[in-house]
Amino acid sequence: MSAGRHEARYAAAARPAAAGFTLLEVMVALAIFGLVAAAGVAVMAHAADSQGHLRGRLERLGEFQRARALLRADLSQAAVRLVRRADGSNTRHAFVGRRPGEAGPLFAFVRRGHENPGGLPRASLEYVEYRIVDGRLERSARAAVDGAEPPPARVLLDGITAARVAYFGDGRWNDGWLGGATSLPDAVELELELDAIGRVRQRFLLPGVTP
């Protein structure tokens, strides 16, 4: 029995004590965990910022595409039609195109194909004006072609820092449209400098019909 007890005591002494972490090891582990957590938060914040920036850019591009589609629809259906003012006198030009440094609309004209889903007793022609006011591209359309006052303008695009318009006629591009009672430009070029997009140059074909 005595020999057995001595062997048991020897075996217990030979076993290593249970391993543990020192305070220094715990502090190092916490520091590493903190660095990893901070890096993860930074990555998630960057991803959220990138997603927000991308969403804003897509919304901006959507606004631009809608404005471009409306410009194309209007200009592609431009008509040779003089407009009567409120006093009954006729305008001199079928298409008004602003020259550099001039005040007034960017361009103004009568277009065909005015939608009439309610079947109202009115013509299918519509007089439209495009202006750039305080960095905004605005469109207004008269309820009647002749003698009517335009309603409040609709803002199509904002954040415009610079704009240039040119007109193609007689085989060349010009900064201003000379006008005429029976003529339209063959094409219009509109160059805009836009926030978050940059410089965009667009060209629109006109029908070029004559009466």
Tokens representing residue 203 in the block: 């060209």
Domains of the chain: 72-205 (3.10.610.10)
Ranges assigned E (strand) in 65-195: 78-79, 95-97, 107-111, 126-133, 136-141, 154-157, 160-169, 172-174, 187-194
Identify whether the C-beta of residue 128 lies closer than 8 Å to the C-beta of residue 151: no
**pLDDT values of the chain reduced to their tens digit, one per residue, 211 residues:** 555 555 555 555 545 555 566 877 777 777 787 788 777 777 776 666 666 666 777 888 899 999 999 999 999 999 999 988 777 778 888 999 988 778 888 999 999 976 655 555 556 889 999 999 999 999 999 878 887 777 789 999 999 999 999 999 989 999 988 888 899 999 999 999 999 889 999 999 999 644 4
Looking at residue 209, what is its pLDDT? 46
Q: Give how far Cα 162 sits from Cα of 61, 99, 172, 176, 195, Å.
A: 17, 14, 23, 17, 10
Tokens representing residue 16 in the block: 């290593």
Taking the C-alpha atoms of residue 156 and residue 138, their distance in angstroms, rounded to an integer, is 6
Neighbours of 107 (CB within 10 A): 23
